[in-house]
Amino acid sequence: MTGQLNATEITAARPVNPVRYSICSLITSHAEYAEMLASFRAGGFDGPAAEYLYIDNSARNGFTAYDGLNRLIEAARGEFIVLCHQDLRLIEDGAAKLDAVLAELDTRDPNWAVAGNAGGTGIGRLAMRISDPHGDDRRIGSLPERVMSLDENFIVLKRAARIGLSRDLKGFHFYGADVCLAADIMGHSAYVIDFHLRHLSDGRISPAFYNARREFRAKWSRALRPRWIQTTCGLMRLSGNRLGQAFGTAIQKHALKLALRLPNARGWPSAPVEKAAP
């Protein structure tokens, strides 16, 4: 059926029986995951406040983080979707604390879409609120602090922002940076928040890490490359720096005229005219 939706119908089209938190994991150890579940439930993530979704990679890695977590994001009913490792344990902070922290973040920046407990704020600068093998009760930065990337151990997505992971990447690394870049492109922001938990892993680097970094760099270098964009109404130059933008604006009218004279030009009226850029 097609037609216009009113506000009631739009609300009715949301997931059936929504919950506050959808807690999503890829698991390789059922025993370790069970300990994580017990920890989260004891911290108030239970009953109607939370659902737990997972993909079982214990026999083999049938899904990577990118395709597996995207499936969980699509299935999730929560207002907030928590992507987390199976080796997390809550300490003193629980559902009530996360509720309060996210409410504060909504007040500070309604455009936030992604939050976590560790990430990069700039070249050589980190923000962090975590206990892990590198140290207990670590707090770095003025939290909440805006970041350009997040560590993958604990990531909260605002469902309303409708942000997911890249469909053209695989593996288990850099999806925290990936989802922050996707959010930024859509006009959203990412933060490290004051939500303390324990991560049992020390984040060891394997050869797969370097392969993932190479693929991540190649994908996002391609995605963010300067380019000409041809629309049905004209031509424009996109560039990440002001000089490139100014150059593109200055020559775009002439570039379009030249492009329309090429043998493979097609789809235009006999005498297309593009208005000068303001």
Q: What share of the chain is helix, strand, coil (3-state, %, to 5)?
A: 35, 25, 40
Boundary residue ending a domain (205, 223, 241): 223
To which residue do tokens 């300067």 refer?
226
- Whether residue 1 lies inside any domain: the answer is no
- Whether residue 148 lies inside any domain: the answer is yes
Helices (H) and strands (E) in the chain, counts: 7, 15
Q: Are residues 202 and 234 in the same domain?
A: no
- Whether residue 38 lies inside any domain: the answer is yes
Query: Going by DSSP bridges, is the β-strand pair 197-199/149-150 parallel, antiparallel, or unpaired?
Result: unpaired
Strand partners, 154: 84
- Whether residue 82 lies inside any domain: the answer is yes
Boundary residue ending a domain (223, 255, 270): 223
Chain segment 195-206, per-residue pLDDT in tens:
999 999 987 778
Question: What whole-number distance in Å separates Cα of residue 240 and Cα of residue 207?
Answer: 32
Q: Are residues 120 and 148 in the same domain?
A: yes
Q: Which domain holds residue 273?
A: 226-278
pTM (predicted TM-score): 0.84
* Both structure tokens of 44: 């108030």
* Residue with the larger pLDDT of the pair 2 and 141: 141
To which residue do tokens 């973040």 refer?
105
Please, are residues 79 and 18 in contact by the beta-carbon 8 Å criterion?
yes
**Number of domains within the chain:** 2
To which residue do tokens 């739009």 refer?
10
Q: Are residues 234 and 200 in the same domain?
A: no
Q: What is the CATH number of the domain that holds 79?
A: 3.90.550.10
Q: Are residues 218 and 230 in the same domain?
A: no
Q: What is the pLDDT of residue 248?
A: 67
What's the rounded mean pLDDT across residues 244-261?
72
Chain segment 142-190, per-residue pLDDT in tens:
999 999 999 999 999 999 999 999 999 999 999 999 999 999 999 999 9
Q: Are residues 78 and 22 in the same domain?
A: yes
The neighbour count for residue 132, using CB atoms within 10 Å, is 21
Q: Are residues 95 and 118 in the same domain?
A: yes
Query: For the residues of 67-90, what is the DSSP string, one character each?
Result: HHHHHHHHH--EEEEEEE-TTEEE
* Both structure tokens of 23: 């807690």
Question: What whole-number distance in Å separates Cα of residue 226 and Cα of residue 223?
Answer: 9
Q: Are residues 143 and 210 in the same domain?
A: yes
Q: Are residues 104 and 11 in the same domain?
A: yes
Q: Are residues 193 and 132 in the same domain?
A: yes
